Amino acid sequence: MDYQQTLDYLYSQLPMFTRDGASAFKKDLTNTLELCKRLGDPHKKFKSVHIAGTNGKGSTSHMLAAILQKAGYKTGLYTSPHLRDFRERIRINGQMISEDEVIDFVKEHRQDFEDIRPSFFEMTVAMAFDAFARAKVDIAIVEVGLGGRLDSTNVITPLLSVITNIGWDHMNMLGDTLQLIAGEKAGVIKPGIPVIVGEYQAEVADVFREKAQQEKSSISFASDEWNVYPTGIDQVGYLDFKIEKMSPLTYMHLQLDLTGTYQLKNVKPVMSAIQELRKQGYAIADDNIRAALSQVKKLTGLHGRWETLSHRPLTICDTGHNPEGITEVLKNIESTPHENLHIVMGMVNDKDISKILAMLPKHATYYFCKPDIPRGLDAELLQQKAEAFGLHGEIYVSVKAALKAAQSQADKNDLVFVGGSTFVVAEIV
């Protein structure tokens, strides 16, 4: 099989969450452990940092990986989902694994897949861990796919666990209260392994404290340790800010090439994680941090986070897709100078989207579309639901058609925003 045939096999043979939704989510670690056993337990052969949370875990993972790369460590990075190429999920020092590695892995272990019947995600996690072990990475940053406790990545014993924050997402699988969702995310806390929670949230803080106490793990809240003072976007296009550690009092002036203002929240657990890794013997200089944060996209290949696609009209996309993510997107839209607002919007069909629709600006012109996946919400149905919230616009046959229409109807001083789902952004970056 060539690369495309190999991907077709994986997509068609294995249950896939992005395509099949909740039915592909396996609520135990049996398959992953069995796959890893057949691979020689690669998850025990490299050091790691485990990153969970509702929002920001992807950006946090990429920032941390960039810093470790700049510090001279051979760094693995496992994230999901991918935007354009399956191999984006598995990177070593920012480079995607080769097509041949994917082909060879599937060819060699196809019988194991037939025996175990893993989900697409379980197989991908095993492939990543195998790649990291074979490459003898110094450290791997491993992003949780969904939840934490029962996520396939949770077979690792990391040096450090990070939980960015808790928000409303995947309630059909993780629970319908923030405390239940937090309980699932807290499942990444391991016995005696330090945990950093990015954002102190009063309603769920005790869930994390109790789990950490139970596991005899030290716990800290990064938002209590750092203050961030933004100074705006500089002339080169960096998000410019000063970060202050409260005890002992220290300052750093930093520039970040990820310009969404929500990144100022994500940089706090990144800095706390670096502090913890330094305690554990990792040599990471302040200059490594400065250099890495100014080129996260170049070092790691991160895309889709408040990313400018073109100018005149200014066109920006973002993968934010739950109420908390959309709140941050709307703050960025509001602070971006523009005359009229055009929103290219698509969503998936297995989430309650009413909270998000209630938040969206009624003065914008909407361009409704369906992301090209089976879970995509029909554009006509999205339009009907949106109109109930006073949001008006036309239906388009594809994401690209909607974007083309928005850009042609927008004046040069207007803003075109593309979002609503990671899978919408994936089609245009």
Supply the pLDDT for residue 172: 57
| CA dist., res. 290 & res. 284, Å (int) | 11
Low-confidence spans in the chain with pLDDT less than 70: 13-27, 169-175
Chain centroid offset of residue 44 CA: 24
Which one-letter amino acid corresponds to residue 220?
S
Cis peptide before 269 (omega within 30 of 0): no
How buried is 367 (Cβ within 10 angstroms: 0-12 exposed, 13-18 middle, 19+ buried)?
buried
**Percentage of the chain exceeding pLDDT 70:** 95
| CA dist., res. 82 & res. 299, Å (int) | 17
Domains for the chain: give ranges and CATH numbers.
3-225+262-278 (3.40.1190.10), 307-426 (3.90.190.20)
Supply the pLDDT for residue 19: 47
Tell me if 161 sits within 8 A of 53, measured CB to CB. no
Supply the pLDDT for residue 147: 81
Supply the pLDDT for residue 165: 94
Token pair for 25: 């989510």
pLDDT one-digit tens code per residue, 376-425: 999 999 999 999 999 999 999 999 999 999 999 999 999 999 999 999 99
pTM value is 0.93
Task: Kindly report the number of other CB atoms within 10 A of residue 327's CB atom.
Answer: 15
Q: Of 15, 39, 14, 31, whose CA–CA distance to 129 is shortest?
A: 39
| CA dist., res. 348 & res. 21, Å (int) | 10
pLDDT one-digit tens code per residue, 43-97: 999 999 999 998 899 999 999 999 999 999 999 999 998 999 999 999 999 999 9
Rounded to 5 degrees, what angle do the CA atoms 91, 351, 398 make? Answer: 70
Task: Kindly report the number of other CB atoms within 10 A of residue 393's CB atom.
Answer: 21
